[in-house]
Structure 1
Amino acid sequence: MYDEIKIASEQDILDIVAICFENRISSIIIDGRCLSEEFYDLKTKMLGIALQKFINYNIRVAFIIDKDKAVSDRFKELVLEINKGVNFRVCSNVEDAETWLLK
Structure 2
Amino acid sequence: MKYEFIEKDGVEYVAFLQGERELRTEQDASDLIGACFERGISRLLLHADALSEDFFRLRTGLAGAVMQKLVNYRIRTAVVVPEDRLVLGKAKEMLAELKFGNAFRSFSNEHEAAQWLARDGG
Q: Calculate the TM-score normalised by the size of structure 2.
A: 0.77
Within 5 Å, which residues of 2 pair with 1:84-95?
A: 84-95=100-111
Instruction: Verify the 8 A CA contact 2:46 2:79 in the aligned structure 1.
Output: yes
Q: Which has the higher contact order (CA 8 A, sep 6+)?
A: 1
Unaligned runs of 5+ in 2: 1-16
Within 5 Å, which residues of 2 pair with 1:62-73?
A: 62-73=78-89
User: Pick from 1, 26, 50: which aligns with 1:10?
Assistant: 26
| Structure with more of its chain in strand, by fraction | 2
Pairs aligned (count)? 103
SS in 1 for 2:100: coil
Unaligned runs of 5+ in 1: none
**AA paired with 1:15?**
D
Q: Within 1, Cα distance between the matches of 2:18 and 2:38?
A: 25
Q: Choose 90-99 or 75-84, whichever is displaced more.
A: 75-84
Distance 1:89 1:70, change over 3 A: farther
Q: Calculate the TM-score normalised by the size of structure 1.
A: 0.89
User: Pick from 77, 93, 100: which aligns with 1:77?
Assistant: 93
Kindly report structure 1 stretches of 4+ aligned residues shifted beyond 4 Å.
Answer: none
| Structure with more of its chain in helix, by fraction | 1
